[in-house]
Structure 1
């Protein structure tokens, strides 16, 4: 068991080490798979595995990417091969977790705390760099830039939200000992504040949507009006305090307002990120209309999008052409409407299949990833794939059938 936990820890750490140790997540995934195979070979009769369909559904996502080779041009075959390698975790990781016996609660707690600790460390490093280059970074926010983070600011902001959720749930369910409890509480509070100083729209959106759902949960399910009011008060006060205290938050707000106001000016897509995204959606819709059922193939997307950009929006420079920052639109362009439907079934089946069992971590991560899908093509980078898939599988681990009930809540 400890070997599996070690390799899972490598995957989590690998999210933060891509510049200098890019292969670490892959080492963790291969190690987890080998450990799962060994456990199955040596001890398969001593534990009950979850239904294979829960984990097998994720393989459908890999299958869609694999099948896109049927519509990929010969000139872009190498790009297709790179994509297949990128999506291999959807084949290997679900299989590995299905083979593994249920990890004990204390190990699940340790992995979620490992995420919290590494995220805290990453935020402190980022803040230290900000304090050394305060004026330069503050000004960069007016130009649609943000403070440097590792991984990139969008993925890191999503990790921050997940770490806040994980720490909060561990505290709420008393999974943290009395000595560690103040440190975990302090880390959660700091990361919530840091999210506002970082001021990435994706991270703030996920944090506040989850906060709103928490309020509704406390009101409707638990009738806990006092705690719901406290959460609502924090959600109202925090952005006001952040606007007063954090120049980065102020400048991001000003930049967003200016960005939104330029959507109707086509040439603004050359310099403004939100405007560029809007026009990428419009171009994507044109490509989808012409390739509705099967798409153009992921490897051919860039040239197909570029042809429509040049024809429909000549005012946008070639260096400003971007792929649609929406996972569903991106998939529709690449794989067609059939591919999008298969993707939705494969990616979300696991969450639906365990309903109505209590799994707040799983629900929260699904929500974080889904919100990111609306504004990013999250699954098209190594970190995005590892972040999205691994923590879904780790949350599912808490819902696996165990031979003996445990006194503590299994993080699920």
Structure 2
């Protein structure tokens, strides 16, 4: 068995299953189990490697950062102790949803450092999937431009795969990953040209898509790049060029893309209706504001350990009906903020445990050179402020997988996988 399942074959199998996870993010609506197949596959591969070859590994991965991420799963699993018996099915669904926080960290801890070429291919695969999905959405927009432009005035967004919120985050990460490969890796001329085209296309598409969370993350990463160029690289001219490019991109997008302009108009209209409770039935930003107010009341009543995630819907609905009766039941929404969401579900103690668990790998990585890890944490953290990112299959898998993939680039086994920059 050992001669059949060699280390190169197992790392190759792990990379293939990782590619299933990446592709699965974009086809989840049509092939929902593909990400799960990838997660289970990479976990089984990791167990095979640990059983057959782990004793031969001279240096093993630091277990602490992976154990910290497993803490997020433990937090959700512990919610069963305060869940109403009538909602146990919902609790079990949540445990299954959060299972990647158990399986993926365990798998990446057991596996050796993936070869650099596999890491690069996986990042290029991700960039390619984002570009293809962006081109398909753009084609659909061009065929239905008038209708879609009007949708943006009604708080709607053009169709994308996956959903527009998660996809806008992926566009930012793919753009940053392409820039990182261009800046730090010795790629052949043809691949560099394709990556450069991808950067231009994705930057323009992000503004055509005009999703607020995507735009915020895009410009936040741009500011990070400028900061790195000024503080670390001392390349002031390049920093000025990046800054000027971002400003020019904003101006050109506003002048050229009706979706961008209409989203700006829609956002202004949303903000103008915040004090009108009835507007929560029609305006997305207003609905979010009142979801925060309702959540605050639940947190105040259950500050330490919350009400459990499975019981959240019922608890929030009680306060909606009592405090804001003019908001229709179909307009009740969960608080669109990961930290507030967790505070309702698991209390302030849960938020503290989540924060320590989720962000420990970033502290562990400091001060290693890991631009992709920093970018992904920046993107996901900003999304937490306006979305409950980790409470959907695509959002959770996307957030966790690319953190782990970047961490794999700085694992202790990098001396075994050749020279050159390991995407991290």
**TM-score of the two chains, using structure 2 as the length reference:** 0.96
User: Are the equivalent residues in 1 in contact too, given 2:105–2:404 (CA < 8 A)?
Assistant: yes
Task: Give the secondary structure class of the aligned counterpart of 1:16.
Answer: helix
Give the whole-Å Cα distance in 2 for the aligned partners of 1:323 and 1:404: 47
- 2:82 pairs with one of 68, 71, 75: 71
Give the whole-Å Cα distance in 1 for the aligned partners of 2:65 and 2:28: 30
Structure 1 counterpart of 2:313: 302
Give the whole-Å Cα distance in 1 for the aligned partners of 2:381 and 2:214: 12
- 1:73 Cα deviation after fit: 0.7
Structure 2 counterpart of 1:411: 423
Write out aligned runs for 1:251-330 (5 A). Answer: 251-330=262-341
Consecutive unaligned residues of structure 2, counting only runs of 5 or more, are: 1-10
Task: Give the secondary structure class of the aligned counterpart of 1:391.
Answer: helix
Give the whole-Å Cα distance in 1 for the aligned partners of 2:185 and 2:395: 30
- 1:181 maps onto 2:182 in alignment: no
Structure 2 counterpart of 1:7: 17
Q: 1:404 to 1:88 in 2, by over 3 A?
A: closer
Give the whole-Å Cα distance in 1 for the aligned partners of 2:81 and 2:402: 31
Structure 1 counterpart of 2:8: none
- 1:373 Cα deviation after fit: 0.3
Q: Deviations over 1:198-229 (max 9, x none)?
A: 00001000000110121111111122110000
Give the whole-Å Cα distance in 2 for the aligned partners of 1:293 and 1:237: 47
- 1:332 maps onto 2:343 in alignment: yes
- 1:122 pairs with one of 108, 111, 133: 133
Give the whole-Å Cα distance in 2 for the aligned partners of 1:166 and 1:264: 41
Q: Give the number of aligned pairs.
A: 412
Q: Deviations over 1:117-152 (max 9, x none)?
A: 000000011111111111111100000001000110
- 1:153 maps onto 2:164 in alignment: yes
Give the whole-Å Cα distance in 2 for the aligned partners of 1:175 and 1:196: 30
Give the whole-Å Cα distance in 2 for the aligned partners of 1:196 and 1:303: 38
Q: 1:267 to 1:165 in 2, by over 3 A?
A: same
Structure 2 counterpart of 1:131: 142
- 1:180 Cα deviation after fit: 1.1
Consecutive unaligned residues of structure 1, counting only runs of 5 or more, are: none
Give the whole-Å Cα distance in 1 for the aligned partners of 2:417 and 2:327: 61
Give the whole-Å Cα distance in 2 for the aligned partners of 1:234 and 1:6: 37
User: Are the equivalent residues in 1 in contact too, given 2:113–2:417 (CA < 8 A)?
Assistant: no
Structure 1 counterpart of 2:247: 236
Give the whole-Å Cα distance in 2 for the aligned partners of 1:405 and 1:313: 59
**TM-score of the two chains, using structure 1 as the length reference:** 0.99
Task: Give the secondary structure class of the aligned counterpart of 2:385.
Answer: helix
User: Are the equivalent residues in 1 in contact too, given 2:115–2:417 (CA < 8 A)?
Assistant: no
Task: Give the secondary structure class of the aligned counterpart of 2:26.
Answer: coil
User: Are the equivalent residues in 2 in contact too, given 1:109–1:175 (CA < 8 A)?
Assistant: no
Q: Deviations over 1:251-281 (max 9, x none)?
A: 1010001101111111111100001001101
Task: Give the secondary structure class of the aligned counterpart of 2:153.
Answer: helix
Task: Give the secondary structure class of the aligned counterpart of 1:264.
Answer: coil
- 1:46 Cα deviation after fit: 3.0
User: Are the equivalent residues in 1 in contact too, given 2:114–2:417 (CA < 8 A)?
Assistant: no
CA RMSD, Structure 1 to Structure 2 (Å): 0.9
Regions of 4+ moved over 4 Å: none
Give the whole-Å Cα distance in 2 for the aligned partners of 1:221 and 1:174: 18
- 1:227 pairs with one of 227, 238, 254: 238
- 1:404 Cα deviation after fit: 4.0
- 1:44 Cα deviation after fit: 0.8
User: Are the equivalent residues in 2 in contact too, given 1:8–1:29 (CA < 8 A)?
Assistant: yes
- 2:36 pairs with one of 19, 26, 42: 26
